[in-house]
Structure formats: structure tokens, C-alpha cells
Amino acid sequence: MNDASERKLILSHFWVAFIAFVVACFMGEYQVLERSGFIAAWDSPSVYFASVSTHGVLMAFVLTTFFIMGFGYAIAASSLKQPLWNKPLAWLGFWMALIGVVLAAIPLLSGKASVLYTFYPPIVAHAAFYIGATLLVVGSWFWCVIMLVMFKQWKQANPGETMPLAMFATAMNALLWLWTSAGVAVEVLFQLIPLSLGWIDTIDPGLARTLFAWTLHPIVYFWLIPAYIAFYVFVPKQAGGYLFSDEMARLAFIVLAVFALPIGFHHLYMDPEQAKGWKFLHAIGTFVVALPTLVTGFTVIASLEIAGRLRGGKGMLGWVVCLPWTNTMVLAVILSLLMLIFGGFGGIVNASYAMNAMVHNTAWVPGHFHLIFAGTTVIMYLAIAYYVWPILVRKPLFSQPLAIVQLWTWFLGMTILTTPWHVLGLLGQPRRISTVVYNNLLTLAWKPYEFMMIFGGLILLGSAVLFIYILAKTQLSASAETVSVTIEFAEPLHAVESLPLWLNDFKLWNKVIAVLMAISFGYPILQFFFMDTSGSSPWGY
């Protein structure tokens, strides 16, 4: 990444992502305050739902997509050691996605798209919202094309060589995203846009939910994979050790991508439009996809142990103490894994449909995904930013100690925010409510937890602002010393000598995905064309 224009491309993506992030954090804190009823004058469902819709879109679609694109470009350029292919196309994708975000933001902020980031019809938003979201996705497809072309070109130029792990995983993620986004793209193009423009009178909400479920599970792996890439290719090196197993890492990424796709019905466990047999099938797949995460946990901890022992750690747990806790990447991975353990426990509850019935759509659910998404995943985004910023702006990080404080406060804030959120769910509080007006004694028990959440959110907000401050200070500093470091990738403990083709290429896996998707979504989608359904006309909100 010696090329200034490449660095500018990557930085532009990251800035869009992180500005969306910090703006949405302000909204998050407003939301916990509003729903607690603490400030009576703020009570307003129309503002609240406009805010939650915007917060959800900014966090789940804008932060993630732009971050992943920028990160992908950085990985491709640095791990393949070659210039980015077709920069104009990359910029076209960037601008298309950005224009899409602006186009969607107008109705979102003016309360004309308060349909939440899941946009479940037959509630319908202003068409600009759907068109903007489409542009964002199409822009990201350009990124996918660039990643896959670079993957292919490198293979052709280096026949028989092992694809660098970081690029292998990044290209896998691009392939995953193409498959993933197909479901929601069909929903938006054939149902939501035509309905919102009045070209069609009715749609089937059951079909819409099925198509959205196609996307809804693998999209979280699309968000998570950059964090896992950092686990495997940055962490061991930063900790001063080696990657425990390169082959196992590839296998984990493959199983992750392949099994993330055909299991979306765990989002429809409580739905009437799909039969229990399909739900059972998707439930099994949901448990299978826990395997790569368990393997990842093992590999990361084993890699950390190697590093800790190389640094002089002795005994059962002495190596933990010897880890470089003041390295942002190492600290982040430790905190990330801690949140993953608790989040994974919650995930098992959600995946088991009998237990899920108790917590479905309660406050437990946002509690769970803030922990695992805003926590486990985003803390790695933050650490990646700290790692690549000096490389991108060629100046030293403004303050290492402040960055450490920032990561700790993100973890602390997330713990304080999400623990009471889970409890509220167990106490029956529904998600997505702007006030508590149920005339019931039960709601008295909710109050203290809502106050705790305000406190947790405040810590998180401060932490997010500090993060932006550190990045901006780094970039704007008049520092005389120029940093010319490059991204360093971890070496595996055992050098990879030769890899079977199926661990170095996606052709086979693409076919496997196609077969699994045909099995798990074929009939469930086709049934809507054979059933005698009566569509729903559009509704406001």
C-alpha cells in the first residue's frame, strides 16, 4: 500500500463507516433515554422510530459495508503485494453506495421511512429509502467483483501457490456477500420498490419474510468475517507469536461461509408461513455453524498461548499475564472473545426453538446482538482501525494509552448496556418499544434495568467519541516523523507446504452452496407460487 491513491480510497471508505458509527451512537444513547421515560418532554414515538430506523441502518448497513469494503481493499493490496485492480470501478462503487446512503437518509431522518432496518412489509416506506438501500448494495457488489478478480488474477500469476490466508478469507467473504444479498435484493426489487411506487397493489408478506431470512443470517457472518480475519492474521503476530494452524483457519472460513447461508429460518421459528420441518432442518444447520466459531476460539487462544510462552509465561495461566495487554489488537481480541463467550451462550438459547419461544422478539434479542455485533465484532473493527491508521496516514497513532482506554470503555459500556437488556427480555419486555404504557405490575420490575442501560450507553458514547478523536488527531497531526510500516501478517506455526485444491479455491464450495441453498430454500420459496394466498396492500405507520 505504497500508493497514495489506494490509501485515499481505503481511508474514504473507513471515514464513511466511522462517521456513520459515531452519529448512530448518539442516536443509541437518545433511544435508551427516550424509552426509559426519564425525560418526559422527549417522549415521542415518531422521533423514536425514525431514530431507531436510522440507527439500525447506519450500524448494520453503512458502518459494516463501508468498513468491509475498505478493509478488503487494504487486505488485497497488502497480502497480494500488487496494486488494486480497476480503481475507477472501486470509486464508482464507493460513490454509488454513498449516494445510496444519502438518498435513504433523507426519508429516514424526515420520518418517512420509520420501518426499521428490517423493513418488514406490508408497512411501506418512501420509495427513496428502498432505492437508496439498493444502491448501497449494488455499490458493494462492485467491491465483490474486484476482490474475486484479484483473487483469480493472483492464482493465474502464481499457479500452485498458496493463496495468502487473509486474501482467501476476504474473497470468500465477497462470494458469501453475493449469495447473501441476493435474497433481500429480490425482495426489494420485486416487492418493495414496486409496492412503494404503486406499480403493484399487493404483496405476500410471507414471501417477503422468507426472502429476508435468506439474507438475515449470513449477513451477520459478512460482518463478522473481518473480525475473524484479524483474529487469524493480525493477532498472533501482534502478540509476538505464530498462527497455530493455517489450514484449520481456511477450513473454518469455508464452513462458516457455506453453512451460514442455508440456515436463515432460525429467524422465522415463530412464523406461520413456513412449516416446522424446514425450521428443524435450518435449526440443525444453525448448530453446525457453531463449529467454525469453536475452532476459531481454539486457534486464537492457542496462538495467544504460544505468544505468551514465547514471552516467558510459565504454568497453566502464566502466559495470560505475559501477553502484551497494552497492544490494541491483543487487548481487543481478549475483550472480543470474552463477549463472544457470553454472546455465544445467548445464541444457543436463540437457536433452540423451544427456548427461543420465551425470548423471541423480547428485549433479549437487541441485548444479544448488541453484545455480539456491537461488542465482539465492532471492537475488532476499532482495533483494525488503530492498526491500519498509521499505515494509511503515515503518521504515528496519536495516543496508544488513550486507545487502550477507549477499548476498555467500549467493553465496559457494552457489558453494562447489554446485561440489563437481556434481563429485561427475560422479564418479558418487548423489543422496539418507545415507552412503557402497559398498565401492569410487571413493568415496575423493568425500571432499574432501563436506568442501567442509560449509564452503559453513556460510557459507549464517550468511548465512540474518543475513538473518532484519536483517528482524527492521528490524521491531522503535524507530526514530522513519517511512518512507513506495512501491514504484517502472522506466520503459521507450521509452514503450509501444499494445499489441496479445495482449500485454495472456491469452485467446489460455490457448487456446494448452490446445492444447499436449493435444498433449504427451494421448496419454501416455491410454495408461495402454488399456495392460494391473498396478498396484503401497503400500509403506513
Partner 1 sequence: MQKESLKQQLQNLSSQISAMHLDHLERKWITISLLVIGFFVGIMTIDAFFHGINPPGKVETVDSASLHLSKEFAEENLGVQVDDQGNITVRMVAGRYSFFPKHISVPAETRLTFRWVSMDVLHGVHIPMTNMSTMIVPGYVAEITTTFPKPGEYPMLCNEYCGLGHNHMWSNISVIAKENWTTPAKLVSKGGPSHE
Catalytic residues: 217, 221, 368-370, 431-432
- Residue of 157, 197, 270, 321 interacting with partner 1 (CB under 8 A): 270
Instruction: Write out the three cell numbers for 281.
Output: 432442518
Window 161-200: contact mask with Cu ion (x via CB under 5 A): ----------------------------------------
Of these partners, ligand HEM, Cu ion, partner 1, none, which one is at the site of residue 245 (CB under 5 to 8 Å by kind)?
partner 1
Residues in 15-54 at the binding interface with ligand HEM, rule: CB under 6 A = 25, 28-29, 31-32, 52
- CB-based contact 193:131 (threshold 8 Å): yes
- CB-based contact 219:211 (threshold 8 Å): no
Query: For 161, phi and psi rounded to 5 degrees?
Result: -85, 160
Nearer to partner 1 by C-beta: 114 or 409? 114
Residue the block writes with cell 412503494: 196
Please tell me whether residue 269 binds partner 1 under the rule CB under 8 A: yes
Sign of CA dihedral 490, 493, 497, 498: negative
Nearer to partner 1 by C-beta: 26 or 287? 287
- CB 364 → Cu ion: shortest distance, Å? 14
Q: How far is CA 60 from CA 116, 338, 440, 448, 464, in A?
A: 11, 22, 34, 28, 16
Please tell me whether residue 237 binds Cu ion under the rule CB under 5 A: no
Instruction: Write out the three cell numbers for 305.
Output: 498461548
Please tell me whether residue 541 binds ligand HEM under the rule CB under 6 A: no
Of these partners, partner 1, ligand HEM, Cu ion, none, which one is at the site of residue 209 (CB under 5 to 8 Å by kind)?
partner 1
- Residue of 302, 371, 392, 513 interacting with partner 1 (CB under 8 A): 302
Nearer to Cu ion by C-beta: 139 or 262? 262
Of these partners, partner 1, Cu ion, ligand HEM, none, which one is at the site of residue 352 (CB under 5 to 8 Å by kind)?
partner 1
Residue among 364, 337, 334, 336 at smallest CA distance from 349: 364
Of these partners, Cu ion, partner 1, ligand HEM, none, which one is at the site of residue 217 (CB under 5 to 8 Å by kind)?
Cu ion
Q: Can you tell me the distance from the alpha carbon of 81 to that of 92, in angstroms, rounded to the nearest whole number?
A: 23
Q: Can you tell me the distance from the alpha carbon of 209 to that of 129, in angstroms, rounded to the nearest whole number?
A: 18
Q: How far is CA 151 from CA 137, 264, 411, 429, in A?
A: 21, 28, 35, 47
Q: Can you tell me the distance from the alpha carbon of 229 to that of 405, in angstroms, rounded to the nearest whole number?
A: 24
- Residue of 373, 387, 509, 521 interacting with ligand HEM (CB under 6 A): 373
Residues in 116-145 at the binding interface with Cu ion, rule: CB under 5 A = none
**Segment near partner 1 (CB under 8 A), from 131-139, 275-283, 378-386, 395-403?**
275-283
Please tell me whether residue 60 binds ligand HEM under the rule CB under 6 A: yes
Q: Which residues contact 251 (CB under 8 A, 6 or more apart)?
A: 292, 295, 503
Please tell me whether residue 368 binds Cu ion under the rule CB under 5 A: no
Please tell me whether residue 278 binds partner 1 under the rule CB under 8 A: yes
Nearer to ligand HEM by C-beta: 51 or 238? 51
User: What is the total residue count of the chain?
Assistant: 541
Nearer to ligand HEM by C-beta: 16 or 52? 52
Nearer to partner 1 by C-beta: 299 or 377? 299
- CB-based contact 261:286 (threshold 8 Å): no
Please tell me whether residue 360 binds ligand HEM under the rule CB under 6 A: no
Strand boundaries in 179-278, DSSP class E: none
Q: Which residues contact 433 (CB under 8 A, 6 or more apart)?
A: 35
Supply the angle between the helices 64-79 and 378-393 in degrees, to the nearest 10: 50
- Residue of 116, 125, 147, 339 interacting with ligand HEM (CB under 6 A): 116
Nearer to partner 1 by C-beta: 155 or 279? 279
Please tell me whether residue 33 binds partner 1 under the rule CB under 8 A: no
Q: Can you tell me the distance from the alpha carbon of 428 to that of 364, in angstroms, rounded to the nearest whole number?
A: 9
Q: Can you tell me the distance from the alpha carbon of 292 to that of 300, in angstroms, rounded to the nearest whole number?
A: 12
Instruction: Write out the three cell numbers for 470.
Output: 484519536
Residues in 447-506 at the binding interface with ligand HEM, rule: CB under 6 A = 457, 460-461
Please tell me whether residue 217 binds Cu ion under the rule CB under 5 A: yes
List residues near ligand HEM by CB under 6 A.
25, 28-29, 31-32, 52, 55-56, 59-60, 63, 116-117, 366, 370, 373-374, 378, 417, 431-432, 457, 460-461
